[in-house]
């Protein structure tokens, strides 16, 4: 029996150990709890659920890949303020098994490993998630890169995701429409 596809996000505070060392365990705990609180505030809007908190990180689940990407971008945004460490997010989609409120399988492992290699303040999305998400108007994906991940036998194709500048996106759409009109006019002449 094949397990249905799911999408998992792992979010991690960058530099958490250094924060605890420099500012103390109380401050580190406060920041970790702030990430959890802020994540809870945006989960429902993206159809997500928190599977568990893992120290300074979170394991989240979404039914839809596009919603997971939007959620990952939102997590980075809500923690982007002075005095808080940046968050990095890894997202992967595929089959997974659940038991006792937790999730298991290679899909979960890959999502966690992608988080570990994601740059600070960025969202690293697997090719599987990107293609499953379909076209996303407000999201721009970087070039495809391969990542060899710990204890994963094959490299995982990935893309960095970021919010699309709507002004640039609109200019691009208008420019394409203008080119089509110009081409049509020249063809008629």
Of the listed ranges 59-73, 97-111, 174-188, the least confidently predicted one is 174-188
Is 163 within 8 Å of 73 (Cβ atoms)? yes
Decide if pLDDT at 185 tops 90: no
Rounded to a whole number of angstroms, the distance between the first and last alpha carbons of the chain is: 61
- At 134, list the tokens: 């379909």
pLDDT in tens, 43-52: 999 999 999 9
Residue of 139, 7, 104 lying closest to 60 (CA atoms): 7
Give the confidence band of 20 by pLDDT, cuts at 50, 70, 90. very high
* Across 159-168, average pLDDT: 84
Specify the DSSP element, H or E, that contains 112: helix 106-117
Residue in the structure block whose two tokens are 């998992």: 8
Convert the pLDDT of each residue in 85-133 to its tens digit.
Answer: 999 999 999 999 999 999 999 999 999 999 999 999 999 999 999 999 9
- Whether residue 189 has pLDDT greater than 70: no
- What does the angle CA 84 – CA 85 – CA 90 come to, to the nearest 5 degrees? 130
Cβ-based burial of 24 (10 A; exposed 0-12, middle 13-18, buried ≥19): exposed
CA distance 141 to 94: 20
Tokens of 130: 């990107």
**Domains of the chain, earliest start first:** 5-188 (3.30.70.1230)
pLDDT higher than threshold 90 for residue 15 = yes
Residue 163 above 60 pLDDT? yes
CA within 13 Å, CB half, 107: 23
Whether residue 168 is predicted with pLDDT greater than 60 in this model: the reply is no
Instruction: Tell me the two tokens of residue 119.
Output: 């740059």
């Amino acid at each position: 029996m094949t397990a249905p596809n799911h999408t998992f996000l792992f979010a991690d505070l960058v530099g958490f150990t250094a924060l605890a060392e420099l500012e103390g365990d109380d401050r580190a705990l406060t920041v970790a709890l702030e990430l959890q609180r802020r994540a809870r505030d945006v989960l429902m809007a993206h159809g997500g659920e928190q599977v568990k908190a893992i120290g300074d990180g979170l394991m989240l689940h979404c039914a839809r890949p596009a919603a997971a990407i939007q959620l990952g971008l939102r997590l980075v945004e809500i923690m982007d303020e002075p005095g808080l460490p940046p968050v990095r997010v890894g997202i992967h989609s595929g089959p997974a098994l659940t038991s006792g409120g937790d999730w298991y399988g290679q899909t979960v492992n890959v999502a966690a490993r992608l988080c570990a290699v994601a740059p600070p303040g960025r969202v690293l999305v697997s090719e599987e998630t990107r293609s499953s998400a379909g076209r996303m108007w407000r999201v721009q994906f970087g070039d495809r890169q391969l990542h060899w991940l710990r204890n994963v036998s094959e490299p995982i194709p990935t893309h960095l995701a970021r919010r699309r500048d709507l002004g640039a996106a609109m200019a691009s759409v208008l420019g394409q429409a203008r080119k089509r009109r110009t081409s049509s006019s020249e063809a008629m002449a």
